């Protein structure tokens, strides 16, 4: 996910976008959304894609994203197709980076898009948007990072940094709609898993004897160690929530999060189903839809669970839930008091919230209290839908 709320220069809203009347007319049959960041950003961008689908019935929507995320978008009805690149190569040597970029541009140019929407807002993404050569090119004005003298904004429709008068990052990704004069009809991310993914999730539940709406999905991972609540505290919270509610618990996450899962399993007294590394990313939204509650760090799966409609307890550190909180489902973000007394030592690289360890100060009691409160708050709706 993006690092933090950026600081943007002041701008005149009346001059922040080009009027659509100045764009060469023609139908919009294909749209490329350039989103080369992380899972959470892609989840929030799903609301943009859903609004575009409503505005342009039958439109072909493609995403440019990391190859690891392709299945997540197509299997949950967010994108018609995905053009991929390998992030690891883009961070490699200049030769490898150039090769990866040229391959991606070759695949993009062949598709002849009518519109590109650059919500990544980097020098590379602006270059890609310009080279693709779509008739309508949407980008931000001003950019998150001021353009250098040799850079230029290739967009001919310029969106405000945040749209519709809001400050949550969801509205950064919805701002292009305002610039295009498109009505905002969908205000929350929403995943619609294909029948095949729902069947896969149901098979997992059957295998481990997990009943729908009778288990808590727990994700204890995050991209940076400082954003991961301590596994021992997850174990304590799991024990107490399970004892109070009778709900079972399933750990989810990628293969690289197995060590954290093993620590939780070794510490908790409650029997836990370990699904870490076994459920594909594209199947997780369907699995989350059947969970009674999601408990996890501020990370991509937290946003996925909210987009699936699952009640969410999100654990936050320096990064503010005002800007990055779960949206789309009932939720309670839990955060230690601020300002933070540093507990991370040399590991912390403040003020970058992705590299600060503030969540380590979060005690178990407020997490358990929030979970019990949210379960009670959503019980009536659950019973009504049964």
Give, in order, the Cα–Cα distances in Å from 356 to each of 67, 212, 345, 351: 28, 36, 10, 7
Place of tokens 């950064």: 172
pLDDT in tens, 259-302: 999 999 999 999 999 999 999 999 999 999 999 999 999 999 99
- Rounded Cα distance, 200 and 290, in Å: 12
Which domains, and CATH codes, for the chain? Answer: 13-180 (3.40.50.2000), 195-385 (3.40.50.2000)
Please give the mean pLDDT across all residues of the chain. 89
- Rounded Cα distance, 14 and 354, in Å: 34
Size of the chain in residues:
386
Q: Residues near 269 by Cβ (< 8 Å), separated by ≥ 6?
A: 239
- Rounded Cα distance, 283 and 251, in Å: 14
Q: What is the DSSP string of 212-235?
A: TTSEEEEE---SSGGGS--HHHHH
Closest CA to 287 of 206, 189, 187, 367: 206
pLDDT in tens, 307-344: 999 999 999 998 899 999 999 999 999 999 887 777 76
Residue 346: pLDDT band (50, 70, 90) is low
Q: Residue 50 above 50 pLDDT?
A: yes
Q: Residue 208 above 60 pLDDT?
A: yes
Q: What is the pLDDT of residue 88?
A: 65
- Rounded Cα distance, 230 and 227, in Å: 9
The structure tokens listed for 283 are 């199947």
In the three-class reduction of DSSP (H, G, I as helix; E, B as strand; rest coil), residue 284 is classed as helix
- Rounded Cα distance, 163 and 258, in Å: 39
Place of tokens 């079972």: 248
Closest CA to 315 of 300, 302, 304, 305: 302
């Amino acid at each position: 996910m993006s690092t933090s709320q950026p600081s943007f220069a002041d701008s005149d809203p009346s001059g922040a976008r080009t009027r659509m009347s100045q764009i060469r007319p023609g139908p919009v049959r294909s749209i490329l959304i350039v989103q080369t960041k992380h899972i959470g950003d892609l989840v929030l961008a799903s609301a943009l894609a859903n609004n575009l689908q409503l505005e342009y019935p039958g439109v072909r929507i493609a995403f440019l994203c990391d190859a690891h995320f392709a299945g997540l978008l197509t299997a949950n009805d967010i994108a018609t197709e995905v053009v991929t690149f390998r992030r690891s190569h883009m961070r490699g040597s200049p030769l490898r980076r150039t090769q990866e970029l040229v391959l991606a541009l070759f695949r993009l140019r062949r598709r002849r898009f009518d519109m590109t929407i650059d919500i990544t807002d980097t020098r590379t993404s602006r270059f890609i948007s310009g080279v693709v050569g779509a008739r309508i090119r949407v980008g931000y004005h001003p950019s998150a990072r001021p353009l250098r003298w040799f850079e230029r904004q290739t967009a001919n429709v310029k969106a405000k940094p945040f749209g519709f008068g809001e400050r949550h990052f969801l509205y950064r990704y919805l701002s292009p709609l305002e610039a295009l004069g498109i009505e905002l009809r969908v205000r929350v991310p929403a995943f619609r898993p294909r029948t095949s993914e729902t069947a896969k999730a149901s098979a997992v539940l059957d295998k481990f004897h997990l009943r729908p709406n009778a288990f808590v999905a727990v994700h204890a991972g995050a991209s940076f160690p400082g954003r991961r609540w301590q596994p021992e505290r997850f174990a304590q919270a799991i024990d107490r929530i399970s004892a109070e509610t009778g709900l079972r618990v399933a750990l989810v996450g990628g293969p690289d999060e197995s060590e954290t899962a093993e620590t939780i399993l070794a510490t908790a007294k409650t029997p836990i189903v370990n699904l870490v590394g076994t459920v594909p990313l594209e199947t997780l939204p369907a699995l989350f839809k059947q969970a009674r509650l999601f408990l996890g760090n501020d990370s991509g799966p937290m946003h996925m669970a909210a987009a699936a409609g699952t009640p969410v307890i999100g654990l936050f550190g320096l990064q503010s839930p005002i800007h990055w909180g779960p949206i789309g489902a009932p939720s309670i973000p839990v955060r230690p008091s601020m300002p933070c007394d540093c507990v991370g030592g040399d590991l912390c690289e403040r003020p970058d919230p992705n590299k600060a360890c503030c969540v380590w100060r979060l005690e178990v009691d407020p997490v358990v209290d929030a979970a019990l409160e949210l379960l009670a708050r959503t019980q009536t709706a659950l019973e009504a839908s049964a």
